[in-house]
A = this chain, B = another copy of it.
């Protein structure tokens, strides 16, 4: 394997010339938000992009490192802030680094044992998601929440567990402020 370089705009978080873009629209988020009607209305109003992941993939083999730019739009579904689906890693005992480049939000994390914590995300904040913690970004601001992410390339993703079980807590707007409930 040969070395290579990738350009990232550190002001906007834009990755120049990604090889793969994963796009999640409002319609991909059915079942995730408390207010299903509000989500349906958004889907009918044009089904806008919810979040995107920009990648230049490397082989998904041990020793390599996968990296990406995660970009989550701002907004509310009812009183609930926009969020990503969230996932465990398929190889469960693998960590992930999120270096926030833009926006305001929370990294919501949980264990299989039911522990649930949130770390603040803001430009320059590096959040360490330890091995075996499921994680989901939540945008509590007014601009896109953009992070540079890195994780062991063999880690993979397991979305099914979160789809079925969700997280123990949601991030709602209460009296104008984000609150974990």
Contact = CB atoms under 8 A, between A and B. Distances in A.
User: How many copies of this kind of chain does the complex include?
Assistant: 2
| Majority DSSP secondary structure for residues of A touching B | strand
A140 B126 CA distance: 28
A64 B97 contact: no
Interface string A64-106: 1101000000000000000000000001011111010100000
B152 A99 contact: no
A137 to B, nearest CB: 13
A10 B123 contact: yes
Please classify how large the interface on chain A is, using the bins under 10, 10 to 19, 20 to 34, 35 or more: 35 or more
Contact of A3 (B63, B117, B124): B117
13 contacts: A3-B117, A4-B127, A6-B126, A7-B126, A8-B124, A8-B126, A58-B95, A63-B91, A65-B96, A65-B97, A99-B99, A150-B150, A152-B152
